[in-house]
Structure 1
Amino acid sequence: MKSPLYIVIAATFLFSSFVSKKENKTTVNPIHKIQNTIDRDSVITYSKQYLGTPYLYAGNNPKKGFDCSGFVNYVFQHFDITVPRSSSGYKNLGKSKLPEDFKIGDVLVFYGYKNKTIVGHVGIICEANGMHSKFIHASSGKAGSVTISDLDSEHYSKRFYKCVDVMP
């Protein structure tokens, strides 16, 4: 009679040791979250592979082409970050950053080329240096493709609206 009791006690002990190991696995979540943190450099590295992709109005496909917001949306979507699909969606998005706080991966928001009252263009900072930053974007202008431009160029500095951080 004693041996079945010993088996039950031993089984209970073994079972409880497995349960505590399972509990330890659930405490690994903070490490998992750290591994899921998005590296800003990775966003830029990923975006640069599309340099030269043609500009296409309403485009959001690297095989066909991008417009500015389609490009920004496509890049951040790769990292599971939701951003507006239209440049106008950035008008009230986030809190405007001071130039000295610009970081790579932040989104630059510009007024339109012809209409200085509505948002009309967006890009991603790839070299942060305040108002002397460089950004990657799909340009409908001279480049006609995904390109890197200077924020302090006359064309973009006079259209600059704000910079926002969209990273988690």
Structure 2
Amino acid sequence: MKKSLLLFCFVVLFAASGKSQTIPVKYQELLKKMVANKTSDQLIGFAKTLIGIPYRYASSNPAIGFDCSGFVSYVFHNFGVNVPRSSTEFNQAGTPVKLENAKVGDVLIFTGTNPRKRVVGHVGIIADIEGDTIKFIHSTSGKAHGVTVTTLNPYYKSRLMRAVSIL
């Protein structure tokens, strides 16, 4: 919070000086991170409002339900971010990141229900990271049968193919 306030004050004072100077690079990077964090917090906040909407194959309509990629695309499109509609197309979307460098708002790409078949079949959005514990929000045809938040447990880790940064 102190960094945010300090950066905000710096930007305001810098802009008020009336000089046509650029913001130093180290502050530009911090400002970019703050904007990305705010956007990802808003994105996850919106996604959580959809918890409980039932699973519906091939749908991106909240009135009837979501499949996994329909849910992810609906959430990102709500923020004006163009993403693929099908889970397989997410393999070419965004920038790949190592799981240990992934952030809230990044997309996790999984195999289908059979982890031995290394073919994309499911996607979700990282909703929370606490230490080594990652939780993701997704629409599942499994037990929850709809939009839910799930811990990246051993079963999902065995299915994980990659993480990508979209924002």
Say yes or no: TM over 0.5. yes
Superposed, which structure 2 residues align to 1:75-94 within 5 Å?
75-94=75-94
Question: Structure 1 residue 94: deviation in Å?
Answer: 3.2
Give per-residue Cα distances to partners, 1:4-38, cap 9 Å, x unaligned. Answer: xxxxxxxxxxxxxxxxxxxxxxx9xxxxxx8x976
Alignment TM-score, normalising by the size of structure 1: 0.73
Unmatched runs of 5 consecutive residues or more in structure 1: 1-26, 28-33
Superposed, which structure 2 residues align to 1:120-131 within 5 Å?
120-129=121-130
Task: Identify the residue that residue 142 of structure 1 maps to in structure 2.
Answer: 143
Task: Identify the residue that residue 103 of structure 1 maps to in structure 2.
Answer: 103
Matching residue's letter, 2:137:
I
Superposed, which structure 2 residues align to 1:11-90 within 5 Å?
39-90=39-90
Asked if 1 retains the 8 angstrom alpha-carbon contact of 2:95 and 2:166, the reply is: no
Task: Name the CA distance, whole Å, in 1 between partners of 2:44 and 2:70.
Answer: 16
Task: Name the CA distance, whole Å, in 1 between partners of 2:66 and 2:87.
Answer: 13
Asked if 1 retains the 8 angstrom alpha-carbon contact of 2:88 and 2:120, the reply is: yes
Asked if 2 retains the 8 angstrom alpha-carbon contact of 1:100 and 1:129, the reply is: no
Moved more, 154-163 or 125-134: 125-134
Richer in strand (by share): 2
Matching residue's letter, 1:40:
S
Give per-residue Cα distances to partners, 1:68-93, cap 9 Å, x unaligned. Answer: 00000000000010111000001232
Task: Name the CA distance, whole Å, in 1 between partners of 2:95 and 2:76.
Answer: 18
Asked if 2 retains the 8 angstrom alpha-carbon contact of 1:72 and 1:123, the reply is: yes
Unmatched runs of 5 consecutive residues or more in structure 2: 1-19, 21-31
Alignment TM-score, normalising by the size of structure 2: 0.74
Q: 1:107 to 1:85 in 2, by over 3 A?
A: same
Secondary structure of the equivalent of 1:45? helix
Matched residues, percent identical? 44
Give RMSD over aligned pairs.
2.3
Larger Rg over CA atoms:
1
Task: Identify the residue that residue 159 of structure 2 maps to in structure 1.
Answer: 159
Task: Give the length in aligned residue pairs.
Answer: 135
Secondary structure of the equivalent of 1:39? helix
Question: Structure 1 residue 130: deviation in Å?
Answer: 7.1
